[in-house]
Amino acid sequence: MQDVARAVGVSPMTVSRAFRNDASVSDKTREAVRQAAEAMGYVFDSTASTLRSQRTGFVAVTIPSINNANFAETVRGLSEALKPQGLQILLGTTDYDIQNEEELIEQLLRRRPEAIVVTGGKHTERARRLLENAAIPVIETWDLPERPLGHVVGFSNAAAVGMTVDHLVAHGATRIAFIGGDADRDTRGTDRRLGFIAAMQRHGLDATRLIAAGAPPISMREGARAMARLLETLPDTQAVICVSDLSAFGALSECQRRGVAVPGQIAIAGFGDYEIAGTCVPALTTVNPFPHEIGRKAAEVIAAALASPGLPPQRAAISPGLIARDSTG
State the residues that interact with a second copy by CB under 8 A: 41, 43-48, 50-51, 56, 66-67, 69, 72-73, 75-76, 79, 88-93, 106-107, 109-112, 129-130, 133-134, 219-221, 224, 246, 249-250, 253, 256-257, 275-276, 278-281
Candidates 41-49, 96-104, 172-180, 239-247 — which segment interacts with DNA by CB under 7 A?
Answer: 41-49
Q: Does position 39 bind DNA by CB under 7 A?
A: no
Residues 6 or more apart whose Cβ sits within 8 Å of residue 186: 64, 96, 216, 217
> From its phi and psi, is residue 312 left (phi > 0), alpha (psi between -120 and 50) or beta?
beta
Report the nearest approach of DNA to the CB of residue 41 (Å). 12
| 255 vs 134: CA distance, rounded Å | 50
Q: 102 to 121, contacts with DNA by CB under 7 A? A: none
CB of 134 to DNA, least distance (A): 13
Q: 78 or 152: whose CB is closer to a second copy?
A: 78
**C-alpha distance from residue 106 to each of 113, 117, 178 (Å):** 11, 13, 36
Give min distance, CB of 283 to a second copy, in A.
9
Half-sphere exposure (Cβ direction) of 8: Cα atoms closer than 13 Å: 26
Interaction of residue 25 with DNA, rule CB under 7 A:
yes
Can residue 52 be called a binding residue for DNA (CB under 7 A)?
yes
By the rule CB under 7 A, 62 interacts with DNA: no
Asked whether the beta carbons of 162 and 199 are under 8 A apart, the reply is yes
**CB of 191 vs a second copy, minimal distance in Å:** 24
Parallel, antiparallel, or unpaired for β 239-242 and 210-212? unpaired
With CB under 7 A as the contact rule, the residue among 23, 40, 170, 261 that binds DNA is 23
Residue 1 touches which of DNA, a second copy, none (CB < 5 to 8 A by kind)? DNA
Task: Round to whole Å and give the CA distance between 174 and 150.
Answer: 40
Residue 90 dihedral angles phi and psi, to the nearest 5°: -110, 105
By CB under 7 A, name the one of 49, 65, 156, 238 that touches DNA: 49
Q: How far is the CB of 198 from a second copy (least distance, A)?
A: 31
CB nearer to a second copy: pick between 21 and 47? 47
Residue 51, C-beta contacts closer than 8 angstroms, at least 6 positions apart: none
Told to check if 45 binds DNA by CB under 7 A, we report: yes
Select the residue interacting with DNA from 39, 40, 48, 66 (CB under 7 A): 48
Nearer to DNA by Cβ, of 13 and 261: the residue is: 13
Q: Can residue 235 be called a binding residue for DNA (CB under 7 A)?
A: no
Buried b (16+ CB within 10 A) or exposed e, 261-280: ebbeebbbbbbbbbebbeeb
Shortest CB 113 distance to DNA, Å: 15
CA distance 137 to 24: 31
CA gap 323, 276 in Å, rounded? 13
From residue 281, alpha-carbon distances to 78, 275, 293 in Å are: 32, 12, 27
In whole angstroms, give the CA distance from residue 168 to residue 285: 10
CB of 94 to DNA, least distance (A): 25
d(CA 239, CA 259): 16
Q: Does 54 bind DNA (CB under 7 A)?
A: yes
Q: How far is the CB of 21 from DNA (least distance, A)?
A: 11
Q: Taking CB within 5 to 8 Å according to partner kind, which of DNA, a second copy, none is near residue 41?
A: a second copy
